[in-house]
Structure 1
Amino acid sequence: MGRAEERRARQRGGGRAAPQRPSGTPAAGIGPEGGGRAAARRAARPAKGKGGIRRLFTWKKILGAFLGVCLLGIGSFIVLYLVVDVPEGNPDAQLQSNVYKYSDGSVLARTGEVNREMVDLSKVPKAVQHCFVAAENKTFYSDNGVDLRGTARGLLNTLSGKGAQGGSTITQQYVKNFYLNQDQTVTRKLKELVISLKVDQRMSKDDILAGYINTSYYGRGAYGIQAAAQAYYRVDAKDLTVQQGAYLAALMQAPSQYDWAVASDTGKRLAQQRWNYVLDNMVKQDWLNAGKRQAMKFPVPKEPRPAPGRDGQKGYLIALANHQLEQQLMKDQDLTQAQAERLVEGQGWNITLNIDKKKQAALEEAVKAQLTSKLEPKKRSVDKHVQAGAVSVDPKTGYVVALYGGEDYLKHYFSNATRRDYQPASTFKPVILAAALDEDSRTQDGRPIAANTVYDGTSGRQVVDHGTKVGFGPPNEDDQNYGNVTVQRAMNASVNSVFAQMGVDVGMDNVMDVARKLGMDTKGMQSVPAQTLGSMGASPLEMAGIYATLDNHGRKVTPTIVKSAEQKDRTIKMADPIGEQVISREAADTVTSVLTGVVDDGTAKTSVRDNPQRNGQQVAGKTGTSDKNKSAWFTGYTPGLVTSVGLFGEDVSKNGEHVPLYGAIGEPRVNGGGPPARIWAEYTFGVMGDVSKFDLDTKQGAAVEPSTSPTVSESPSETPSETPSSSPPAVSESPSDTPSETPSQTPSQTPSQSPSDTSSSREPTDDLSDNPLLPNDQ
């Protein structure tokens, strides 16, 4: 095309002509690949939607937003810092009396006199000061009073509901103690942060440390290091050793749990671990010579001296009420144990207990009549070692209606009602049967386990697990052979060899799991055949809960002493003592039915069945006597009341060493069917009201012996005793009172004789005497 033609073309198209292309070059947009530069430009242009998102979230905008949030946070903190000032600190003014009431509203006790004496830091040895720094805040002398990372973590935990897991410096803890409170809220934590910064600027480190150790709670009602030194070691703060100081510093984490006088084995282990941690940190900080550290021994604290106003049973009732309220606060507010204890002790609570004043008085009187009035320590030295504990529970409500913790709280600080350091012995046997029934267990030769199932009751018979001996063969009391015996008769006579084999038949894991469901604290317990003898530790409170669950047809009962707790403008709602169904009703009711046989035809018949006050009341229960007669139990129940009574041999002059009860109260051997059952009967029959009967749903046998002599089907392990008796041996050896082969399911309406009539009869027990095959008491 010539220039003239190009001009004409431009004129026709109204624009400039396209530039000349070399020959063979395709026009833009119509090339062989279907696109030219315009198409390429269009293809390279990003999609409209994606471009919008990228324009919205550019790195500059993200950085700007982050900086904006930071500036907002800094600005907010500056405002908070300016607004929040250090308040007047006066913890003594915050402490008020706690009022404790019986269930009817009458006052039980009023406590709250503060055990505190402020001391100057110069009166506290430097090494002891370092104990607290090493335990709580190693950077105390160099930090600015706050742990920002720990506080941030605590705020996040509070917001997310994960609990009190944040860190705190000594300054922050002092601020909580002296200026604020223990509430786990975001507002309180932010105030704590600001006030701690200001306190660190205004006060010296020594003044802060002095304030901290003088306002902290150490347990035993002691606030401040001077009160704590006296409470635990009977010395002034100025005379504390490094070892003692390290223990007091360790207590800050969990005062009650680490108190040596009442701590469980786990608590003592944790206390020693914390004590070691404190001293090891002191070595790392060059505050303690490593050689001296290695030579240090744990300083066991002195026995407590309880506060006035808690004499008699009051102190035991208050201690359990405080503990259960603290547990509820820990659950509700995600507090640590130390924080919860501080929130309860002397903080103006109005606490109503479930304790029935009349039942409480009746239980105390029963213990006095059947035990303490008969003790003659000047005549029999063993009598000074006898301790009694008891807990009574309403199985329908779960309320603890009466409790006996010991002779006097001011004389014996450790509550026998809640202590877990003695074996429950054969009172554990019903748990084994409950597991068998609930699991629909069978013997190893395929027979269903029920009340009329027959076992070999040969004393010392080796327990067999599918043909293999497990190396455990407990003897029966007095090494008596029972030959072929039903489960019912084995429970009546407390035949150890039968329940040892039953435990393995059921599976010890299953047994311990059912024990946990029923209310036993099985943490750390091994699932071994020896547990069938009740060789673990348990308390009367615990055993009352287990039997109350059986009485309540398998619905879990958690014994609760606190009815209500109010403080100023808030009320704490306690958890419902009645829980879910943990074993089947049929299993629970069958155990109850079997346990009526123990009363009517077994180890408790003289003290309970033939008691003249019984008046036809239906009763279920079980005796227990531990290895070497160091404890004796009776836990029994009617449809409306469950009570567990324990007697414990304790030498208080030897740090609570467990000792045998042989010869106590003038009896050759203290059995569960003796004083414990007599205390139970006098108390229960005195307060029971109208006679009642169990409403049982059971199809597996109920306190009834088979009409013919039992025989054992082929065993997978070994044949029965070489000389089995043709029928089960009588439970009582009294010539005038042999048990019927077919006793009624209900107790006799007219007991044939009173306890005095049977004073010469000898009942079987489950005492294991000095059997070397069994584990020693712990």
Structure 2
Amino acid sequence: MGRAEERRARQSGGHRAAPKRRRSAPGTGPAGTGPTAGGKAAAGGKPAKSLIRRLFGWKKILGTFLGVCLLAIAAFIGLYLYVDIPEGNAAARQQSNVYKFSDGTVLARSGKTNREIVDLSKVPRKVQLTFVAAENKSFYHDAGVDFRGTARGLLNTLAGKGKQGGSTITQQYVKNYYLSQDQTVSRKLKEMVISLKVDREESKDDILAGYINTSYYGRNAYGIQAAAQAYYHIDAQDLSVQQGAYLASLLQAPSQYDWAVATDTGKKLVQQRWNYVLDNMVEEGWLSKAKRDAMKFPRPEEPKGAPGLDGQKGYLVELANQQLERQLMDVDGLSAGQAENAVIDKGWTITLNVDRKKQAALEKAVKAELTSKLDKKRRKVDADVQAGAVSVDPRTGKIVAMYGGQDYYKHYYSNATRTDYQPASTFKPVILAAALEDHAVTQDGKPITADTIYDGTSRRQVLDHGAKVGFAPPNEDDRNYGKMTVQNAMNASVNSVFAQMGVDVGMDNVMSTAKKLGMDTKGMQAVPAQTLGSMGASPLQMAGIYATLANHGDKVTPSLIKSAESKARTVRMPNAVGGSVLSRTAADTVTSVLTGVVDDGTAKDSVASNPLRNGRQVAGKTGTSDCNRSAWFNAYTPDLVTSVGLFGEAAKSGGTGCDDRPVKKGDHVSLKGAMGGGRVNGGGPPAKIWAAYTFGVTDKARFDLNTTQGAAVEPTPTLSWTQPPSHTPSQTPTSEPPTSHSPSHTLSQTPSQTPSQTPSQSPSQTPSTSPSTTPSTEDPLNPPDGLDPR
């Protein structure tokens, strides 16, 4: 039958099958006469299946995928059946941290868990909801696990990022109460399985109660009751919605969000988090929009120190914890909250670099030269005096002693690490270091050295190549010096000289050098006013800067921790001494110049003339800020650097400050009149504390300096000065054109005096008394009212 007949048969309903075609012989073409062409099969000329299609066909891929899914499901079922809910042992897992001096002597133990479990009925309902709004809005409807968040956490762990995201309240409760904070795949899988079981076996209220009672809130407070006491001095049952929202916000990063010690950035972040919590409550219908709009941020009360950390121990423990947490964040990729949770009361043995004898000597010096002389009953200002100090070995970067305040119980945050007071004229060596490092020149192109001549006229307009920059700082008591060397200007701390030098060097270069030396310059503007130390800095930062100068320009980042070990691991701390950030010649020249401040300048009476000095070489700088709110002495011998700061902090509200504003508790206030004297200069109590401490713990040694400049190389010449004429050269060499600025007064005599008799002045306030027309015969430690940069 032909093809036409077959077609007709099919069309007419026939069922006759078409004849089968004969198969060609192997290796032949369609007629069996030759090989197949182009690799095609004999039957019908269709292409043969490729190897890839045979191995990876869609059926095989689908089958493999389904097989993997079935295996995963089977593995999860097995894990679910294998893993039981363990016995809750959170309290038993809380271990003491042990802190030791460098010689192994125990300094402190921190581990008595500050927790009081409260029934959920004792917590106002809307306060409960703040935690749900903050952490897990779907808490009352989910199965206890956020699978997407857990998957993301597993992937992050496998990728080495170490951060968990998207955990539910149930998962966080399981992690706190049943498991650990370890960032491992096995821990995350267990957390997921246990969370599913806990969600089935416990009520949502029990889970929420467990969560808020086991979480860490900072200030050594575990659980909502302890947190309510620590932050608001009330019981949990008395918390308002606003206060509850703050405590719920804290759980993300307790230390960073603690209002008492938070940076400006931290305060902004916690307020944003607080607003986020309340907005979520409105969104969920748990809070009315009207009530939400009427709520104001509830600032926490002053904190109290944890038990067992009295005196200086609490300050040392706090800084040790912070440095260990920072290292865990850098090494393990933990968030701030995770790092804090991994350190606080987790069984660490932390050995500090603190030398027990030096620590005792520093505390003794502060008591002898400051606290024993304060009489808070007779003089209100004496209650406002706070002291902080940090002592560092410049060769190793080790913090060998530290003073954080009178007592950790009485003053929770550390004066040694606070950055809210101006370092004043102790910043001037940074300007000189920048000038020497950058080979800067004056306005007429002459190199800036220790012998360069500048104009020390008070209130002289600072110029930038003939243009006024709008800055004309006064010297102390508006005193005019006329022409003087950089060495003498440093000795006498002359503001007008260093303001002009800062512009000569370039303020960007000055601030860059400050950052290299160890100052946190984030957010600081590179403006001429910074030459007077108008930024904020801590004794810890300033000790690092001066230690880098003492270490010939090799960067020193002061370190408190010698070693940190736990049962599970040992953490290696970073090297405290790094590479060169300043040439040795520049660093050594600054050191040489600073010896003149001690021998011939503002620190002469307290340090150079101290009978305990016994020939020791000392380099240092005094500083006293605007309105006498802070007074500093940062100085070093060849083997020890110590920064001492005194800070005026209002002990209570009342009265008005230097700026005529009402004073609130904690505000920056003047130190004037403390201990029954006048102005508190850096060359006064801070320098006396420094000398009493340093000369009692250091050996006699001399600086090894690679420089041909400064007072350590050649004695500082006697400064003879005359009252400048009414048109004074505005730029440092005399060849520059004069300005039209006239001195505000004239002197009736032309005295000859040393720099130590002519202290300088800080920039931001006009003296309340007119300057004397004769050389000063007053006590250099307590000069009359006026601004003092010393």
TM normalised by structure 2 equals 0.85
Deviation at 1:167? 2.4
Q: Does 2:686 match 1:676? A: yes
Change (3 A) 1:432 1:46: farther
Change (3 A) 1:544 1:179: same
Change (3 A) 1:187 1:707: same
Aligned counterparts of 1:226 and 1:707: Cα–Cα separation in 2: 67
Q: Secondary structure at the match of 1:397?
A: coil
Deviation at 1:468? 2.6
Bigger drift between 75-84 and 227-236 goes to 75-84
Change (3 A) 1:471 1:73: farther
Q: Do the aligned residues in 1 keep the contact of 2:629 with 2:669 (CA within 8 Å)?
A: yes
Q: Do the aligned residues in 2 keep the contact of 1:451 with 1:594 (CA within 8 Å)?
A: yes
1:380 — aligned with what? 379
Deviation at 1:539? 0.9
Q: Deviations over 1:87-121 (max 9, x none)?
A: 11111101122222211111222222111111111
Aligned counterparts of 1:64 and 1:434: Cα–Cα separation in 2: 72
Gaps of 5+ in 1: 1-17, 20-27, 30-36, 738-757, 772-778
2:472 — aligned with what? 473
Bigger drift between 623-632 and 436-445 goes to 436-445
Bigger drift between 412-421 and 330-339 goes to 330-339
Q: Does 2:790 match 1:769? A: no
Change (3 A) 1:715 1:540: farther
Aligned counterparts of 1:678 and 1:759: Cα–Cα separation in 2: 21
Q: Secondary structure at the match of 1:624?
A: strand
Alignment of 1:507-656 (within 5 A): 507-653=506-652, 654-656=664-666
Q: Which amino acid aligns with 1:698?
A: T
Deviation at 1:507? 2.2
1:730 — aligned with what? 754
2:296 — aligned with what? 297
Q: Do the aligned residues in 1 keep the contact of 2:681 with 2:782 (CA within 8 Å)?
A: no
Aligned counterparts of 1:212 and 1:365: Cα–Cα separation in 2: 46
Deviation at 1:171? 1.2
Q: Does 2:146 match 1:159? A: no
Q: Secondary structure at the match of 1:311?
A: coil
Q: Does 2:701 match 1:696? A: no
Bigger drift between 707-716 and 516-525 goes to 707-716
Alignment of 1:135-174 (within 5 A): 135-164=134-163, 166-174=165-173
Q: Which amino acid aligns with 2:344?
A: E
Alignment of 1:406-417 (within 5 A): 406-417=405-416
Aligned counterparts of 1:409 and 1:583: Cα–Cα separation in 2: 37
Deviation at 1:588? 1.4
Change (3 A) 1:134 1:612: same
Aligned counterparts of 2:631 and 2:467: Cα–Cα separation in 1: 33
Bigger drift between 697-706 and 347-356 goes to 697-706
Aligned counterparts of 1:520 and 1:234: Cα–Cα separation in 2: 36
Deviation at 1:767? 9.2
Q: Do the aligned residues in 2 keep the contact of 1:103 with 1:357 (CA within 8 Å)?
A: yes
Aligned counterparts of 1:421 and 1:678: Cα–Cα separation in 2: 23
Q: Deviations over 1:2-47 (max 9, x none)?
A: xxxxxxxxxxxxxxxx99xxxxxxxx99xxxxxxx958979x9999
Q: Do the aligned residues in 2 keep the contact of 1:560 with 1:577 (CA within 8 Å)?
A: yes
Aligned counterparts of 2:181 and 2:172: Cα–Cα separation in 1: 9
Deviation at 1:329? 2.1
Aligned counterparts of 2:752 and 2:552: Cα–Cα separation in 1: 30
Deviation at 1:131? 0.8
1:207 — aligned with what? 206
Aligned counterparts of 2:621 and 2:644: Cα–Cα separation in 1: 11
Q: Do the aligned residues in 1 keep the contact of 2:677 with 2:782 (CA within 8 Å)?
A: no
Q: Secondary structure at the match of 1:732?
A: helix
Q: Secondary structure at the match of 1:651?
A: coil
How many pairs align? 716
Deviation at 1:707? 9.4
Q: Report sequence identity in percent.
A: 70
Gaps of 5+ in 2: 1-28, 653-663, 722-728, 760-775
Change (3 A) 1:57 1:770: same
Q: Do the aligned residues in 2 keep the contact of 1:180 with 1:192 (CA within 8 Å)?
A: yes
Aligned counterparts of 1:299 and 1:510: Cα–Cα separation in 2: 42
Deviation at 1:573? 1.7
Bigger drift between 474-483 and 326-335 goes to 326-335
Q: Secondary structure at the match of 2:300?
A: coil
Aligned counterparts of 1:183 and 1:92: Cα–Cα separation in 2: 18
Change (3 A) 1:455 1:231: same
Q: Which amino acid aligns with 2:754?
A: A
Deviation at 1:382? 0.7
Q: Do the aligned residues in 2 keep the contact of 1:456 with 1:720 (CA within 8 Å)?
A: no
Q: Secondary structure at the match of 2:445?
A: coil
Q: Which amino acid aligns with 1:655?
A: K
Q: Does 2:661 match 1:662? A: no
Q: Which amino acid aligns with 1:510?
A: N
Aligned counterparts of 2:47 and 2:597: Cα–Cα separation in 1: 86
Deviation at 1:368? 0.8
Deviation at 1:585? 1.6
Aligned counterparts of 1:455 and 1:765: Cα–Cα separation in 2: 25
1:713 — aligned with what? 733
Deviation at 1:706? 7.0
TM normalised by structure 1 equals 0.86
2:80 — aligned with what? 81
Change (3 A) 1:759 1:490: closer
2:436 — aligned with what? 437
Deviation at 1:629? 0.4
Q: Deviations over 1:181-234 (max 9, x none)?
A: 111122212221222222222222111111100000011111000111111111
Deviation at 1:135? 1.1
